[in-house]
Chain A
Amino acid sequence: MDPLLSVRDLKVEFDTRHGRVTALAGISLDVMPGETLGIVGESGCGKSITALAMMGLIPNPPGHLTGGQILFEGEDITRASPKRMRQLRGRDISMIFQEPMTSLNPVFTAGDQIAEAIMLHQDVSKKEAWEEAVELLRVVGIPEPRRRAASYPHEMSGGMRQRVMIAMAISCRPKVLIADEPTTALDVTVQAQIFDLMRDIQEKFGVAIVMITHDMGAIAEMADRVAVMYAGRVIEQGRADDILDDPRHPYTSGLIGCIPALGREAASTDRLPPLAEIPGVVPPLHLLGAGCAFADRCPLVHDRCRRERPPLAPHGMAAQEFLGGHAVACHAAEREIAA
């Protein structure tokens, strides 16, 4: 099966007061039809920039796409004209954002905003578009969809607004849905509802989802495959179960280890042991050296890590072929595997 969306060696730079900094230093990802690819990392790792690049929405200036390709069904969309990009965006690739409060227009009703998206890409009358909008609101689980279509965003709760965003995003049956931290602003019970809805929609429409998150728990629940990002690079990639059960990069295992355990299994009368820590902080992007960006925080660091940046897979091998699709950018992990 060919990937639906392929990112190949993508480089993005930003002009900042520290000069040009590299936000994405050549990342490669594949999104297969109907799957969910999770992209996980801490603030500043480049995960949201990756999402914006896939939508052709890197702000320029200050952003510059300086290398690589993004192939959607074989077409390099980094070279597409603005007109072609507008056709693809919303119809074939659509996106939901973190902040449902600010990504809807406050002066239009939910129904108007969904109908607008439909009329932009399909040859239908206003009335047909409105009916379709009501139907979509029903699909995303909004009670009394006909009445709610006439509601303004401020009359809705955060969870309901995110459902409206999802209705809008799937209105043209896209092939790829990019979700950038879609539940960060929501309460946990509402987050669970939105996750359930996204899985339902994937099952119903076969849409591929790219899920951007900082939450390994969300990855476990939503993703088929995962890319872990650190300082503008993918440092580990593979099937979600492999990454969660057998993380090879010290950063990935650190991220998993520092999550507090929850529930019956951890309900001991004794005090829980201290959380595993990753010491230090992510280095500023303008101060990255030649070696591994994680070296200063890594428990397994040695001289070679500071000199030479580890590639995501052994040289001459595609990341996807390595270790049954499990690839790691780490000298120490590579030694361990070779042994």
Chain B
Amino acid sequence: MSFDGHPSAGPSGAAPLAERPLLEAVGLSVRFPMPKKSPFAERDYLHAVRGVNFKVHAGRTLGVVGESGSGKTTTAMAAVRLTEAHDGAVMFEGRDVLKMGPEELRRQRRDMQVIFQDPYSSLNPRDRVGAIVREPLDLMDVGEKKDRADRVRELFSLVGLRPDQMALFPHQFSGGQRQRISIARALATNPKLIVCDEPVSALDVAIQAQVLNLLRRLQDQFGLSYLFISHDLGVVQFICDDIAVMYLGEIVEYADRPTLFATPRHPYTAALLDAAPSLARRKSAGYSRAGAVKGDPPSPMNLPKGCAFASRCPRAQPRCKDEKPLLRPLDGAKVACHFPLEG
């Protein structure tokens, strides 16, 4: 198989290389060691991500959605090696990110950048914001030194900030403006992939709309791919092309946007949609939550043998508690459920 990245180089009959995803995770697993109870005890591990597979295509957005503890952030961080994976492979343009040496990984980071959730702690309070945006250019030695100041100025206008604000410090900006600075920093090296870890969760809804529109505009302009982590289904539906729904470290449903939102098949996806507050569900009209789930997720340290969602699932049968459902294709989606909802 040829991996020179040119579509026309693909051997005839094989899938065209243009369809090769920019990033593909295969069997990605992350575990965290727990403190030992005694020096002689065997070490316990918390299995935060358990064998997930996903693809991010060039110019598209994959959303990973789930509640706290679902492993969505760990999955994304492992994919760009900000967290070390315990097993699996992450192919970026055909090369395994997990197997890269330090120097190769450093060069690779030009192409994979990150925007973090908290615009307050992700910018160094002692640096001027111009220097913050310039730093990746210096670190990765991108372009000529003399051109870098111009590049930073260009980045500022791209994200809707004024170049004369470059000399200010992070505390002089609002949350939304700080997130724009984070975006400018992520864009600096002209990456192919940006991991967005809950980039609008800390923002007021009016500012959230500004930042989401900006992210989509930049995607169109530069052909960016996003791996977009969120707990907010409305945000995911707005910005994502494909969506993976995670529950306790595993993907339970994986589909493109119209399929997932028109016909959610996993009871957990349906429950998430049902639980999200919506302008249409009015107190004045009464309310009903047919698919309401009870209780909290089980502890990831003590996972059940069968389906992890069975204890909260309104459709659970005895089989669900005994036998773990695998993620399998179903009408253009993938669902890990013994008794999926009708399409």
Of residues 250 through 284 on chain A, the ones whose CB sits less than 8 Å from some CB of chain B are 254-256, 258-264, 266-269, 272, 274-279, 281
Q: Is the CB of A193 within 8 A of B294?
A: yes
- Partner among B176, B257, B296 whose Cβ is within 8 Å of the Cβ of A267: B257
- Partner among B209, B280, B287 whose Cβ is within 8 Å of the Cβ of A276: B209
CB distance from A287 to the nearest CB of B (A): 13
Residue of B nearest to A156 (CB): B296
**B140 interface residue per 8 A CB criterion:** no
**B233 interface residue per 8 A CB criterion:** yes
A275 to B211, CA, bound (A): 10
**B258 interface residue per 8 A CB criterion:** yes
**B93 interface residue per 8 A CB criterion:** no
With contact pairs A187-B231, A281-B176 given, residues A241 and B272 touching in the complex (Cβ less than 8 Å): no
* Chain B residues with CB under 8 A of A215: 205, 277
**B83 interface residue per 8 A CB criterion:** no
**B165 interface residue per 8 A CB criterion:** no
Q: Is the CB of A191 within 8 A of B208?
A: no
Q: Is the CB of B282 within 8 A of A262?
A: no
A195 to B278, CA, bound (A): 13
With contact pairs A193-B294, A275-B212, A275-B213 given, residues A220 and B206 touching in the complex (Cβ less than 8 Å): no
Q: Is the CB of A240 within 8 A of B207?
A: no
A36 to B282, CA, bound (A): 13
**A100 interface residue per 8 A CB criterion:** no
With contact pairs A187-B231, A188-B275, A189-B293 given, residues A277 and B283 touching in the complex (Cβ less than 8 Å): no
- Partner among B206, B257, B279 whose Cβ is within 8 Å of the Cβ of A277: B206
With contact pairs A160-B296, A275-B209, A276-B209 given, residues A259 and B279 touching in the complex (Cβ less than 8 Å): yes
* Chain A residues with CB under 8 A of B287: 199, 221
A224 to B286, CA, bound (A): 11
Q: Is the CB of B281 within 8 A of A261?
A: no
A218 to B275, CA, bound (A): 11
Q: Is the CB of B213 within 8 A of A221?
A: no
A1 to B212, CA, bound (A): 45
* Chain B residues with CB under 8 A of A279: 210
**CB-based A-B contact count at 8 angstroms:** 141
* Chain A residues with CB under 8 A of B213: 274-275, 277
CB distance from A24 to the nearest CB of B (A): 19
With contact pairs A187-B68, A187-B231, A214-B204 given, residues A157 and B275 touching in the complex (Cβ less than 8 Å): no
CB distance from B69 to the nearest CB of A (A): 9
Instruction: Give the size range of B's interface with the partner.
Output: 35 or more
CB distance from B325 to the nearest CB of A (A): 19
Q: Is the CB of A258 within 8 A of B205?
A: yes
- Partner among A187, A193, A221, A278 whose Cβ is within 8 Å of the Cβ of B292: A193
With contact pairs A187-B67, A262-B273, A268-B258 given, residues A241 and B209 touching in the complex (Cβ less than 8 Å): no
A244 to B296, CA, bound (A): 32
**B221 interface residue per 8 A CB criterion:** no
A281 to B175, CA, bound (A): 10
**A9 interface residue per 8 A CB criterion:** no
CB distance from B329 to the nearest CB of A (A): 20
9-residue interface stretch from B123-131, B151-159, B234-242: B234-242
* Chain B residues with CB under 8 A of A189: 67, 271-272, 275, 293, 312
With contact pairs A189-B272, A217-B279 given, residues A260 and B212 touching in the complex (Cβ less than 8 Å): yes
Chain B 144-185: CB-based contact to A (< 8 A → 1; otherwise 0) = 000000000000000000000000000000101100000000
* Chain B residues with CB under 8 A of A195: 277
Q: Is the CB of A258 within 8 A of B257?
A: no
Q: Is the CB of A221 within 8 A of B276?
A: no
A203 to B278, CA, bound (A): 22
**A223 interface residue per 8 A CB criterion:** yes
A274 to B214, CA, bound (A): 9
Q: Is the CB of A222 within 8 A of B283?
A: yes
Chain A residues in the interface with B (C-beta under 8 A): 36, 42-43, 143, 157, 159-160, 187-193, 195-196, 199, 214-218, 220-224, 239-241, 244, 254-256, 258-264, 266-269, 272, 274-279, 281
Chain B residues in the interface with A (C-beta under 8 A): 67-68, 174, 176-177, 204-210, 212-213, 216, 231-235, 237-238, 257-258, 260-262, 271-284, 287, 289, 292-296, 312
Given contacts A187-B67, A214-B205, A277-B210, 10 further A-B contacts (CB under 8 A): A42-B204, A196-B289, A214-B204, A217-B281, A220-B280, A221-B277, A221-B282, A259-B209, A261-B234, A267-B258
27 residue pairs of the A-B complex, CB under 8 angstroms, read A36-B283, A187-B67, A188-B233, A188-B275, A188-B276, A189-B271, A191-B275, A196-B289, A199-B283, A217-B281, A218-B277, A220-B281, A221-B281, A221-B287, A258-B206, A259-B205, A261-B238, A262-B233, A267-B257, A267-B258, A267-B260, A268-B258, A269-B258, A272-B238, A277-B210, A277-B213, A281-B174
